[in-house]
Amino acid sequence: MGNKKFDCVVIGAGLAGMSAAITVAKAGKSVLLLDQHNLPGGCASSFVRGRIEFDASLHEFCGLGKPGDWALPGRIMMEDHQLDIDWLWIPEMYRCIGTTRSGKHFDVTLPTGVDNVIEKMEEIVPGSREPMKVFMALAKECVDANDYFSNNMSTVKKDGFLKTDSMYYMKNFPNFLKVAERPFNEVMRNIGMPEDAIDILDVYWTYIGADYSKMSFVHQAWMFYMYAKCEPTITRDNAHGLTMACIDRFRKLGGELWLNTKALKVCGDKDGNVIGVLTDVGMVETNYVIANVNPEIAYNRLLDENIKVPEREYKRVNAEKHGIRFFNAYVACNKSIEELGIKDYTIFMPGSFDNAKNIEDSKSYENNTHSVVVIYNVVNPDASPKGTTVMTFTICYTEDVWGDFTQREYVHKKQELFQKVMDNFEKDTGIIIHDCIEEIELATPWTFAHFLNTPEGTSYGYMVDNWDTMLSRLMAIRKDQPIKGFKTCGAAGARADGYNMTYTNGNDIAKIILEEMEG
């Protein structure tokens, strides 16, 4: 290989990596995007079994918006990056089936549209209307404040935190300042939300993996409001189509993509300046590297000894806890949704709505059978061949419960778990699938560790915790990236997990690198 020189090298073509690569390339820089796999996309991928193509991970994109009225992530993807994506909007938030802490059984479908959700909650839990109005108003304020914040992230104070205009926030987002960091369930109680309604709102916990009695209000509020207002979305060509749209755009901007190419070391000179990336095809010269890699792996394995990692960064990665990880059952039936009697796209089947109990259960194999299923054909008639239905069941774990299984029992453990999940689904919904499964693939943290190389097979970076909230991370977004010429992005980054958040984070980090390039 001859000498290769790029303005910037992006390691890892996951969502954040692709987003960062596009932003830097759009600024007129030469960019090399590397991925150790033969396929780009990271989680945003798909796989083929027989005549079925399964989406690996895109269940419900949150916060896209609509043409002409994009929300923050949508604005970056569709306006700034001009991706060619055929989005499909899902006209329903979720159906959930289970028993609340008060012992009442609910089988509820929440519609989209802020007013519709408020009315629906009132219908199922009388007395919810007024607190729901307050909740939605607070949530909107959080969304607005977050937008304002995201557009004003470039000034840094001496102590490394972002400088914010507190008077502006006091004037425009006073409630945001009061409730954003308060625990979600506590805020709900303080605005008079009935307990059954709190349980039903908490059902999104599997999307975040957090204890709602501790997690910041803003996290759930942003997500809930965005799903209600903008509708959840998927793409017609599944997650791999989304990835291909990113790669196509990146290539048109002059970017270069090397697949099946591993970054072995980020190399520094004796003064600690980044001078290149050693790959398994040789050295690539560059002074700027963005790694779509977990910081723990980046600091401990990727940087060579010339690049000094400040002690505070080792402290930070040691303080973090690895986030949630998943069991996914990808199932295709040889019957249509009409034949199966399926109407809903998303169905949460928590059994019990008790968030505290569910969090406890998510630390074990035996008790954790609370699943959510998305059924693609409800929204996307092209999701699979005519007369078939494709769906994904997901279970989330907050601890490593798969690491102790032996090679021999592993397959049986997967099958035993899916049997329980399927039994619950059939009992809860009356929809019978066990006799018509045409293709099935069961993925566990082992699978994700294999394909993503993330610690413990986690998909969601670091756990969003009471001490480590999204806003605190955002305030420290520059403080957490102290190495000149080297930044990390992705699910372990400031905005935490999810397609929307990682894509936005890649763009944030690219802007910081571009500033460093300009000096």
Which residues 326-385 are close enough to bind another protein by CB under 8 A?
A: 331, 334
Contacting residue, 119, 122, 399, 456, with another protein by CB under 8 A: 456
Q: Does 404 bind another protein (CB under 8 A)?
A: yes
Minimum CB separation from another protein for residue 104, in Å?
27
395 forms beta bridges with: 327
Region 174-203 residues binding another protein, contact defined as CB under 8 A: 174-175, 177-182, 190-191
Nearest CB to another protein, comparing residues 106 and 432 = 432
Contacting residue, 158, 167, 271, 311, with another protein by CB under 8 A: 311
In which element (H, E) is residue 400 found?
A: none
Nearest CB to another protein, comparing residues 95 and 473 = 473
Minimum CB separation from another protein for residue 369, in Å?
16
Minimum CB separation from another protein for residue 472, in Å?
4
Q: Does 7 bind another protein (CB under 8 A)?
A: no
Q: Does 319 bind another protein (CB under 8 A)?
A: yes
Neighbour order of strands in the sheet with 389-397: 105-111, 92-99, 346-352, 371-375, 389-397, 325-333, 437-443
Minimum CB separation from another protein for residue 109, in Å?
25
Rg of the Cα atoms in the chain: 23
- What angle is formed at CA 225 by the lines to CA 222 and CA 229, rounded to 5 degrees? 135
Count the residues of the shown chain that bind another protein, applying the rule CB under 8 A: 95
Region 245-274 residues binding another protein, contact defined as CB under 8 A: 247-248, 256, 258-261
Minimum CB separation from another protein for residue 193, in Å?
13
- Token pair listed for 259: 């697949």
Region 210-239 residues binding another protein, contact defined as CB under 8 A: 237-238
| From 104-112, 347-355, 357-365, 443-451, span contacting another protein (CB under 8 A) | 443-451
* Integer CA distances (angstroms), 16 to 148, 228, 399, 441, 473, in order: 21, 25, 24, 26, 16
Contacting residue, 79, 102, 281, 341, with another protein by CB under 8 A: 281
Region 70-109 residues binding another protein, contact defined as CB under 8 A: none
- Token pair listed for 435: 């006799």
Nearest CB to another protein, comparing residues 108 and 317 = 317
Q: Quick one: how far is CA 174 from the chain centroid?
A: 28
Region 48-67 residues binding another protein, contact defined as CB under 8 A: 48-51, 53
Contacting residue, 315, 363, 427, 484, with another protein by CB under 8 A: 315
Contacting residue, 105, 386, 408, 430, with another protein by CB under 8 A: 408
Cα separation of the two ends of the chain: 31
- Token pair listed for 330: 């990808």
Region 152-171 residues binding another protein, contact defined as CB under 8 A: 161, 166, 170
Q: Does 141 bind another protein (CB under 8 A)?
A: yes
Q: Does 148 bind another protein (CB under 8 A)?
A: no
SS3 509: helix
Minimum CB separation from another protein for residue 242, in Å?
8
- What angle is formed at CA 213 by the lines to CA 212 and CA 217, rounded to 5 degrees? 60
In which element (H, E) is residue 93 found?
A: strand 92-99
Contacting residue, 254, 450, 484, 515, with another protein by CB under 8 A: 450
Contacting residue, 107, 252, 403, 427, with another protein by CB under 8 A: 403
SS3 311: helix
Minimum CB separation from another protein for residue 144, in Å?
10
| From 9-17, 360-368, 401-409, 488-496, span contacting another protein (CB under 8 A) | 401-409
- Token pair listed for 211: 């204890």
Task: Give the HSE-up count for residue 143: Cα atoms under 13 Å, Cβ half-sphere.
Answer: 25
Q: Quick one: how far is CA 485 from the chain centroid?
A: 26
Region 462-501 residues binding another protein, contact defined as CB under 8 A: 467-469, 471-473, 475-476, 479
Identify residue 495 by its one-letter amino acid code. Answer: R
Minimum CB separation from another protein for residue 106, in Å?
27
| From 148-156, 296-304, 488-496, 509-517, span contacting another protein (CB under 8 A) | 296-304
Contacting residue, 453, 511, 516, 517, with another protein by CB under 8 A: 453
Nearest CB to another protein, comparing residues 186 and 516 = 186
SS3 105: strand
DSSP per residue over 87-132, as a string? EEE-SEEEEEEEE-TTS-EEEEEEESSHHHHHHHHHHHSTT-HHHH
User: Which positions ≥6 away from 427 have C-beta within 8 Å?
Assistant: none
Distance CA 369, CA 361 (A): 8
Judge contact between 462 and 474, C-beta under 8 A.
Answer: no
Distance CA 9, CA 6 (A): 7
Minimum CB separation from another protein for residue 165, in Å?
13
> What DSSP character marks residue 403?
T
> What is the four-CA torsion angle of 84, 86, 91, 92, rounded to 10 degrees?
-80
